[in-house]
C-alpha cells in the first residue's frame, strides 16, 4: 500500500494544527533557523548541495548549485526571491503550503536568505491568490512582532526583511527573468540570458529565484540528520519527497506528499483511488500542461525527474492531470493551446504567431475541416517553436501539440475520416 511520506505536510496533516506562529513553534518550528544562524553561509549551501535537492518549480535545477553561483563580494546587495507565481495548469501545491502552513515556507525562505546573504527577500505571488496573500501577510506580521524578522533575530547579527509582492495575472511571470522584470515594475517579458540572475537579477543585483516548495524543504534538510533522511526518500539524483497535485477524472483529487520512487500507476489507482465512474484511463499529462502527454500503457514508471525524462516527457511541477476514455483529446489540446496563445508575452515571433496558428488549426479539426496535411502542419508548427524562443514558453506550447499528435493521431483523424 502506497502512503504519503510527510516532510512538508507533517503539520498540515495533523487535524489539531493551528497555523499560528505559536502553533508552528510548538511543532518544533524555527529550531533549524537557530541552528543555521550558528553556521557559515558556505556551509549551509554545501549542506543543500549534499542533499541533492532539485528545484520543485519545474526545471529541476539543483538548488545548492544555484545558490553557489551567487556572486561573492559584490558591492551590490544580493536578493532571494521566492517564486510563488504558481500558474502552470494543474499545479496547486504551493497554494496549499502558503494557506495551511505559511511559517514553514517562511522559515525556509529565511534560511535561504541567510545562505545567499540577502537582507530583503521578496515573495512574488500571483495576484489571484488573495487568500494565500492574506495568510502570508498575517504570518509575516507575527514574525515581525516576535522579533524573528527585522534586526538581529535570535541574537544573530543578521537583519532580514520580507515583503509579499503581488503579481497581476500573467503566466509568463513564473519564468524567472520575466518575474524579475515584473518585480521591477515592468511588463513581464523574459530577458536574454546570459547574464543569469545570479550575476544580474533584480535591479541588476545578484539574485536567486527559488520555488516556494523548494524553500519549504530547507528547515528539514538543514535539521539534524536531514540530508541523509532526505536522500533516502528517493533514488539517486531524485532525492526527497515532492508535492503531487492530482487532478482530472480521478476519484480522490488532491495534493499529496510522496516519495520519488512511487510509480505513476500507484499514484493513480492507490492514492487517487482510480478513475471516476469506473471508467478506463486514456492518458495522463504528467507534469503540468507543458509536458508531453502519456498514454494509459505508459504509466508503469516511477514518478520522478529522471524516469520521466527517459521516456521523453518531464516531471515539471509534479502536476498530474488524468483523463478517462470518454475524453475528446482534440478539445483538450485546443484548451491547452488556447492557454499558451493567451499567455505568450509576444516578444518572440515563433511563440507569438505559432501558438495562435496551432490553435486555429486545431479549431479547423473541430469544425470538420481537418486533413492529413493539416495534422502534419500542426506538428510542424509545434516543431518550429521548439528551442527558437528566449524562454521555455515556446517549448511548453510545442511539447503538448507534438505529443498529442504523435500519441493520439486517430482521435484527430476521426474528425475528418467520416467524410
- Interface residues toward another protein, by CB under 8 A: 77, 86-92, 95, 120, 126-131, 161, 163, 165-171, 182-188, 203, 245-249, 253-255, 285, 289, 319, 321, 323, 327, 331-332, 335-336, 339, 342-343, 345
- What is the β-pairing status of strands 294-295 and 207-211? unpaired
Q: How far is the CB of 335 from another protein (least distance, A)?
A: 5
Nearer to another protein, 227 or 293 (CB): 293
Q: How far is the CB of 40 from another protein (least distance, A)?
A: 27
Rounded distance between C-alpha atoms, residue 239 and residue 232, angstroms: 7
Rounded distance between C-alpha atoms, residue 49 and residue 46, angstroms: 5
Q: How far is the CB of 203 from another protein (least distance, A)?
A: 6
Nearer to another protein, 148 or 255 (CB): 255
Q: Which residues contact 197 (CB under 8 A, 6 or more apart)?
A: 176, 177, 180, 206, 207, 208, 209
Nearer to another protein, 114 or 171 (CB): 171
Q: How far is the CB of 179 from another protein (least distance, A)?
A: 12
Q: Is 243 helix (H, G, I), strand (E, B) or coil?
A: strand
Q: Which residues contact 88 (CB under 8 A, 6 or more apart)?
A: 58, 171, 174, 288, 289, 290, 316, 317, 319
Contact call for residues 364 and 341 (beta carbons, < 8 A): no
Rg (CA), the chain: 22
Q: How far is the CB of 170 from another protein (least distance, A)?
A: 5
Nearer to another protein, 52 or 188 (CB): 188
Q: How far is the CB of 323 from another protein (least distance, A)?
A: 6
Nearer to another protein, 91 or 177 (CB): 91
Contact call for residues 171 and 86 (beta carbons, < 8 A): no
Rounded distance between C-alpha atoms, residue 402 and residue 293, angstroms: 9
Nearer to another protein, 44 or 148 (CB): 148
C-alpha cell at 276: 471516476
C-alpha cell at 418: 467520416
Nearer to another protein, 30 or 339 (CB): 339
Q: How far is the CB of 95 from another protein (least distance, A)?
A: 5
Rounded distance between C-alpha atoms, residue 131 and residue 398, angstroms: 33
Nearer to another protein, 255 or 397 (CB): 255
Q: How far is the CB of 255 from another protein (least distance, A)?
A: 6
Amino acid at each position: 500500500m502506497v502512503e504519503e511520506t510527510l516532510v512538508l505536510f507533517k503539520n498540515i496533516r495533523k487535524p489539531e494544527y493551528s497555523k499560528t506562529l505559536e502553533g508552528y513553534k510548538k511543532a518544533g518550528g524555527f529550531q533549524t533557523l537557530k541552528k543555521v544562524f550558528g553556521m557559515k553561509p558556505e556551509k549551509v549551501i554545501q549542506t543543500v548541495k549534499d542533499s541533492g535537492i532539485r528545484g520543485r518549480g519545474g526545471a529541476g535545477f539543483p538548488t545548492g548549485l544555484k545558490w553557489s553561483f551567487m556572486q561573492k563580494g559584490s558591492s551590490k546587495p544580493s536578493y532571494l526571491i521566492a517564486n510563488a507565481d504558481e500558474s502552470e495548469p494543474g499545479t496547486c501545491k504551493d497554494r496549499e503550503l502558503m494557506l495551511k502552513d505559511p511559517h514553514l515556507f517562511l522559515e525556509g525562505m529565511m534560511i535561504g536568505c541567510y545562505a545567499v546573504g540577502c537582507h530583503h527577500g521578496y515573495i512574488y505571488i500571483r495576484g489571484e491568490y488573495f487568500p494565500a496573500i492574506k495568510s502570508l501577510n498575517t504570518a509575516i506580521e507575527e514574525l515581525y512582532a516576535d522579533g524573528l524578522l527585522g534586526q538581529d533575530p535570535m541574537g544573530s547579527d543578521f537583519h532580514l526583511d520580507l515583503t509579499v509582492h503581488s503579481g497581476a495575472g500573467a503566466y509568463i511571470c513564473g519564468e524567472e527573468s520575466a518575474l524579475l522584470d515584473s518585480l521591477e515594475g515592468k511588463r513581464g517579458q523574459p530577458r536574454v540570458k546570459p547574464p543569469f540572475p545570479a550575476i544580474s537579477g533584480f535591479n541588476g543585483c545578484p539574485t536567486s529565484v527559488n520555488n516556494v516548495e523548494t524553500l519549504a524543504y530547507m528547515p528539514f534538510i538543514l535539521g539534524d540528520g536531514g540530508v541523509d533522511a532526505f536522500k533516502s526518500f528517493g533514488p539517486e539524483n531524485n532525492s526527497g519527497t515532492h508535492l503531487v497535485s492530482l487532478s482530472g477524472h480521478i476519484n480522490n483529487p488532491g495534493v499529496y506528499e510522496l516519495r520519488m520512487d512511487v510509480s505513476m500507476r500507484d499514484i493513480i489507482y492507490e492514492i487517487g483511488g482510480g478513475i471516476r465512474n469506473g471508467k478506463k484511463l486514456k492518458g495522463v499529462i504528467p507534469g503540468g500542461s507543458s509536458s508531453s502527454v502519456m498514454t494509459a500503457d505508459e504509466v508503469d514508471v516511477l514518478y520522478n525527474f529522471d524516469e520521466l525524462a527517459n521516456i521523453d516527457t518531464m516531471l515539471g511541477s509534479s502536476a498530474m492531470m488524468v483523463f478517462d476514455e470518454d475524453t475528446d483529446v482534440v478539445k483538450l489540446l485546443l484548451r491547452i493551446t488556447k492557454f499558451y496563445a493567451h499567455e505568450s508575452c509576444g516578444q518572440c515571433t515563433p511563440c507569438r504567431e505559432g501558438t495562435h496558428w496551432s490553435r486555429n488549426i486545431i479549431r479547423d479539426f473541430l469544425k470538420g475541416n481537418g486533413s492529413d496535411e493539416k495534422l502534419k502542419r500542426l506538428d510542424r508548427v509545434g516543431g518550429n517553436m521548439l528551442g527558437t524562443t528566449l524562454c521555455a514558453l515556446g517549448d511548453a506550447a510545442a511539447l503538448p501539440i507534438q505529443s498529442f499528435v504523435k500519441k493520439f493521431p486517430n482521435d484527430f483523424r476521426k474528425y475528418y475520416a467520416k467524410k
